[in-house]
Structure 1
Amino acid sequence: MASLALCGDVMLGRGIDQILRHPGTPTLWEAYVHDARDYVRLAERANGPVPRGADPRWPWGDALPHLLDADVRVLNLETAVTAGGTPDPGKGIHYRLHPANLDCLDAARPDVCVLANNHVLDFGADGLADTLDALRASGLRTAGAGADAAAAWRPAPVASATTRVVVLAAGLPSSGIPAGWAATDGPGVAYVPEASDAWVRRIGAELDAVRRPGDLVVVSLHWAGNWGYQVGPEERRFAHALIEGGADVVHGHSSHHPRPVEVHRGRLILYGCGDLINDYEGIGGHERYRADLRLVYLAELADGTLSGLRMVPLRARRLRLEHATAGETAWLRDTLDEICGPYGTRIGAGRDGTLAARI
């Protein structure tokens, strides 16, 4: 039996970076906001004072004990870790965490930081190189980006107390990853241009090169748009094919809110985990999705088969995660139960205020 903590997007740049002990330059290159500290002020206007020079554990808040209790932690790090680089002129939004604030990421003790996403190259190849160097120096494993295609596609193995977990990460254009970011003989991300059988085989070949008997295999995908619960037929076929090809978990992310959960042949598919940490408080729009509510997914697997899935309901307040209220937890339960029902999964109350999948 192994327990995995699976998280969606963790964005530690911009406003989050500004409240930590070593804020980088606040300059932004956005159309409407030019100073990252404005995102802190928006959060304060919505929910109250935010500390400056905050403890590195502050953004994780009440999520931290749940994360640290798992055998293996996997998250999508949607932030470059650099004090330099050149902002990509083709991007409207750029995220970066000052390397001196990397103890904020360390606080959650991630076993694998997924980098195959649409922000890791926001500050170009130099920013990616800085990110890889900083994470490596901190002893943090990465998957999904690298100095060339071989490095970007190389799965990350994690030896837990009970088994070895192998994580392969890749990104699709539906998440906004530019095609030019694909790793070739130069730096970039593990890029899947289409959700096809050919790319299922490519992923399978990469896994076969490192897989050992008894390994748990996680395929982590940055895919689909920011908003909406619908899972396209090509996405579902791709996820099913990955499971049928040997993956034990499909760990999807990119959407700003949770998307459906499915169990296929006893294996877990998270079509979209939603955001976990960001600085979006006080920004209006898409209120029906309640993007201020977040989840940490806690999966228990025995020989790859899902034996239990709990979800920890959280809410973002003052750039920190805190436990959701009873009403917010009920809203998440009812919403998830409705959107997961067509995929054969029901969501109910779990223990200690969590939600549980009925599988």
Structure 2
Amino acid sequence: MSAGGVRPLLHLGRLAPVAVVTIALALVAACGAPAAQPPPGPAGASDEPTSSATASPAALSASPRGTLVVHGTGDVNLDPSYIPALRTRGYEHAWTGLGGLFTDDDLTVVNMECPVSDRGTIVPKEFNFRCDPAALPAAQAAGVDVANLANNHSGDFGPDALLDSLGRLRSAGIAPVGVGENLRAASTPAVVERDGWRIAVLGFGGVVPAADWLAGPSRPGMASGDDTAAMVAAVRAAGEVADLVFVTVHWGVELDTRPRADDVARAHALIDAGADGVFGHHSHRLQPLDSYRGRPIAWGLGNFVWPSLSEAGSRSAVAEFVVTPDGAVTGCLLPVRITSPGHPELVGARSCPA
């Protein structure tokens, strides 16, 4: 993680700080009256890329810009009851197979597949996970900057645990996205400053166990990953305060190895609205990386910190997005294998080919 501008809300210890910037007026509009969804362009379109870096009405970051390396992962589970090796070998076990990949980059975004709290009451469902708050210092030390909580497990112990997770993550120096005490908060991005860039990260969850898991005007919960118009509005609002906008979204169907048409349409709409890259997850299977209008889409990043339940489920990847000073964004998948429960390891190149 490279050094960034100091912000008061969240501190990352010896490294760059991260802050959640409230864009109140823009998000009131985004949540109260979503903009109409722009029609997605044809698949494989190769016209000139657009992004919030170039489409913003004013230059948001005045200092010279460098090249950025941004990483995204699939599902991270820090529940020692589900992965006993985390208890016996320590929470560093989750990250030691990566060779410092996330401390060497500029920004790392993960999907946190459980509430990080010891509060709340279990919600009746087939699988319930609870991340240990004691696992967070090791995650932050390994380079995790942003954690998406908009998924089908962050509410496993109810709203008290969900809201407690926000404070736990922030106190550990990790910015939560995708959930909040109301819809406006859930739709607010984390904003970080890196090497002359201001970067917004938004989280959405399209796998919803029950309607009351979704945030409302006065109800805690997650930002919907099925409401394309609201997602588009949130991306546009984030683009008003940042040079770059990245989206992490829980979507699709378990065990699928390709994206479905509705999620393709959503991803294209997000990029048409100004998103500069999309990290997808949920299917527990690795899916390909594509590009639309010059912006990368990692459709499904599979399991990451997870049990090694099958050969297919142990195949994973880190999505690497590289932003050059002129605003171009390229991407690739860095191959990963879960070699033992809770222990992903890089098995190939540490960076995208030049």
Which bracket does the TM-score occupy, shorter chain normalised? 0.7 to 0.9
Partner of 1:209: 237
Distance across 2 between alignment mates of 1:231 and 1:193: 14
Alignment match, 1:181:
213
AA in 2 matched with 1:188: G
Are 1:271 and 2:299 an aligned pair? Answer: yes
For residue 297 of structure 1, the aligned residue among 319, 340, 347 is 319
Quote the residue 2:345 is aligned against.
322
Shift of the alpha carbon at 1:138?
1.6
Alignment of 1:170 onto 2:204: yes
Q: Which of 153, 156, 167 does residue 122 from structure 1 map onto?
A: 156
- Seen in structure 2, the aligned counterparts of structure 1 residues 353 and 138 have a Cα distance that, compared at 3 Å, is closer
Matched position secondary structure for 1:122: coil
C-alpha distance 205-133 of structure 1, shift in aligned 2 (>3 A): same
Q: Is 1:242 the equivalent of 2:270?
A: yes
In the alignment, structure 2 segments of 5+ residues that lack a partner are: 1-66
Out of 133, 139, 143, the position equivalent to 1:105 is 139
**Whose RCO is larger (CA < 8 A, sep 6+)?**
2
Partner AA of 1:203 in structure 2: M
Aligned to 2:16: none
| DSSP-derived class of the 2:318 partner | strand
Q: With structure 1 as the length reference, what TM-score do the two structures score?
A: 0.73
Which amino acid in 2 is paired with 1:299? F
The amino acid that maps onto 2:318 is V
Contact conserved, 1:259 with 1:272, CA < 8 A, in 2? yes
Partner of 2:18: none
1:178 positional shift? 2.5
Aligned equivalent of 2:8: none
Equivalent position to 1:3, from 46, 54, 69: 69
1:74 equivalent to 2:109? Answer yes
Alpha-carbon distance between aligned partners in 2 of 1:263 and 1:218, rounded to the nearest angstrom: 14
Q: 1:240 to 1:134 in 2, by over 3 A?
A: same
CA separation of 1:17 and 1:97: change in aligned 2, threshold 3 A = farther
Residue 306 of structure 1 and its aligned partner are, at CA, apart by 2.2
How far residue 215 of structure 1 moved from its aligned partner, in angstroms, is 1.0
Query: What is the CA–CA distance in structure 2 between the aligned matches of 1:189 and 1:177, rounded to whole Å?
Result: 11
Gap change, CA 1:67 and 1:314, over 3 Å in 2: farther
Q: How many residues align?
A: 286
State whether structure 2 residue 182 is matched by structure 1 residue 148: yes
Per-residue deviation, 1:242 = 1.2
User: Which residue in 1 is equivalent to 2:23?
Assistant: none
**1:311 matches 2:334:** yes
Structure 2 contact 296–330 (Cα < 8 Å) conserved: no
1:275 is displaced (CA, Å) by 1.2
The offset of 1:99, in angstroms, is 1.9
Structure 1 residues 355 and 92, CA gap change in structure 2 (3 angstroms): same
Q: Distance in 2 between matches of 1:205 and 1:304?
A: 22
Amino acid at match of 1:76: N
TM superposition shift of 1:176: 4.5
1:322–1:189 distance in 2 versus 1, CA, 3 Å: same
Counterpart check, 1:13 vs 2:79:
yes
Tell me whether 1:62 sits opposite 2:108 in the alignment.
no
Please tell me the residue identity of whatever aligns with 1:77: M
TM-score, structure 2 length as denominator?
Answer: 0.74
Could you say what secondary structure the match of 1:170 adopts?
strand
1:25-58 deviation digits (Å, cap 9, x = unpaired): xxxxxxxxxxxxxxxxxxxxxxxxxxx1x33321
Residues 264-291 of structure 1: per-residue CA shift (max 9 Å, x gap):
1110111111111113x3x46xx5xx11
The AA in structure 1 aligned to 2:70 is L
CA distance in 1, matches of 2:350, 2:99: 15
The counterpart of 1:160, out of the listed 177, 184, 194, is: 194
Contact 1:310 1:357 in 2 (8 A): no
Task: Give the percent of matched residue pairs that are identical in Structure 1 and Structure 2.
Answer: 31
Read off the aligned partner of 1:107 and give its amino acid letter.
A
Give the distance between the partners of 2:164 and 2:79, measured in 1 at CA.
15
Distance in 1 between residues matched to 2:183 and 2:208, nearest whole Å: 19
Partner of 2:246: 218
- Residue type at the aligned position of 2:321: A
Give the aligned partner of residue 38 of structure 1. none
- The alpha-carbon distance between structure 1 residues 142 and 319, as it changes in their structure 2 partners (threshold 3 A), is closer
